[in-house]
Amino acid sequence: MRRDPVISVLLVLSLLGLLGIVNLTLGGKKLPTTSGEHTQERAHSLSILAREAEQSITPSSLGTLASLIPTKSLGNLRGKVVVDAFVSLSDRHQSQLVSVVESLVKEYPQLMGLRIFDADTPEGLRERTRAGIAAPGILVNGEPIAYKPIAQYTLSEVKEKVLAALKK
């Protein structure tokens, strides 16, 4: 029985693709060969995936955020920067992230406001659900700055992102 040459070529290409020799999806770029090896392309693609995940949690409109009832609020909620923290204050790391933002609100009380939605309370959890936020996160003017997983964000990263929003 004789095979069609096109099918034979497709079969060989698919086998090579499975073996990782030919990677058509990455434009022929070689993937890292060891578990500890990272390339700039891989880091860039991971950062794009992280940004896409963050964008997917943004509420459909800022009106949704404005209609929520926070567990606690500080500063000027009509200021230039409003931070919404959907967190569990019993979690040490999340509590520390909120403390950093609280210190910035105390430093810039006319420019900033902070609304805390504590998921440890039934009210805070209900409001987080109403906002369409599935996991703990911190938003600045409706844009996520710390989300999925929130534990990966350092105190300095959150502070820098809030200060960057103040400078805009």
- Judged on CB neighbours under 10 Å (0-12, 13-18, 19+), 139 is buried
For residue 84, the domain's CATH number is 3.40.30.10
Is residue 108 included in any domain, yes or no? yes
d(C-alpha 110, C-alpha 72), whole Å: 17
- Residue 4 DSSP class: P
6 domain residue, yes or no: no
Residue 1 lies in a domain: no
pLDDT digits (tens, 9 = 90+) for 79-123: 999 999 999 999 999 999 999 999 999 999 999 999 999 999 999
- Residue 158 inside a domain? The answer is yes
Give tens-digit pLDDT for 6-56.
777 766 666 656 555 444 444 444 444 444 444 454 444 444 444 444 444
Helix or strand or coil: residue 37? Answer: coil
Spell out where 68-108 has E strands. 72-75, 81-87
- Token pair listed for 90: 């019993």
What burial class does residue 8 get, using C-beta atoms within 10 Å of its C-beta: 0-12 exposed, 13-18 middle, 19+ buried? exposed
Residue 153 lies in a domain: yes
Q: Which domain holds residue 78?
A: 62-167
Domain total of the chain: 1
